[in-house]
Amino acid sequence: MWYRVRRRGRGGCGEEECLVVVRSFEKSLSIFLNTHDRQTSIIIIIIITIIIIIITIIITIIIITIIITIIIIIITIPIIIIIIITIIITITTIIIITIIIIIIIIIIITRQQCSVMFSRFPARFPAGPEEPRFLMLLRAQLKLKLSGEASERGPQQGSSSVTESALGGVFSRSGGEVSHRWRVFGQ
């Protein structure tokens, strides 16, 4: 099938040249269609054009999506790093403050317990089962260390135990006297 195309304006092709172009294009379409029908060729051209437009749109969307994703990743990575660093610093600060508070509370409680324990001691402790355990151990150690000096000097008046006698001997030898605080070891 031949098509006559007239030249319009400058830059167009001659009539014979345009006929050759149309005929060659139609032959190329006839490979797919095996026909020389003009309407079928137009339909195929429209379908091919639509397919090309769709493919172009899809490729454009994919490229834009990739670019946006890369931009978001580039922008987001520093933000994520800053957020992680902030969280780590906050958690570390909270842990350090908690540990300091716990240590302070333990120190305060320990001091209060010690002060309460020592404030409850009377000036003269009773001997026997009512005596505090650490005083019983201290009494035993003093008896072992000072029993020799106690036997040398002998018990003094007002002393009612070997421990106080031993302390009295030590103090009397240096010219001193048994003070009231040392009498906590006697009965």
Mean pLDDT of 103-116: 65
- 167 inside domain: yes
The total number of structural domains in the chain stands at 1
pLDDT above 50 (res 137): yes
- Most confident segment among 96-110, 111-125, 169-183: 96-110
Q: Is residue 46 part of a domain?
A: no
Question: Sign of the C-alpha dihedral, residues 113, 116, 122, 128?
Answer: negative
Question: Is residue 110 very low, low, confident or very high in pLDDT (cuts 50, 70, 90)?
Answer: low
Q: What mean pLDDT is predicted for residues 155-159?
A: 46
pLDDT at position 19, please?
53
The domain of 162 spans 133-185
Whether 146 maps to a domain, the answer reads yes
Q: What angle do CA 20, 23, 25 make, to 5 degrees?
A: 110
Which comes out higher in pLDDT, residue 158 or 149? 149
In a domain, 55, yes or no: no
183 band by pLDDT with thresholds 50, 70 and 90: very low
The pLDDT assigned to 36 comes to 47
Q: What is the average pLDDT across 54-73?
A: 86
Position of tokens 């790093």?
Answer: 81
How sure is the predictor about 100, in pLDDT bands with cuts at 50, 70 and 90?
confident
The answer to which of 47-61, 124-138, 161-175 has the lowest mean pLDDT is: 161-175
Q: Is residue 67, in this structure, part of any structural domain at all?
A: no
> 176 or 57, which is more confident?
57
Residue 179 lies in a domain: yes
Domain presence at residue 163: yes
Average of per-residue pLDDT across 1-29: 50
- Neighbour tally for 159: CB within 10 Å: 22
> Does residue 105 belong to any structural domain of this protein?
no
Q: Is the pLDDT of residue 61 over 60?
A: yes
Q: What is the mean pLDDT of the chain?
A: 63
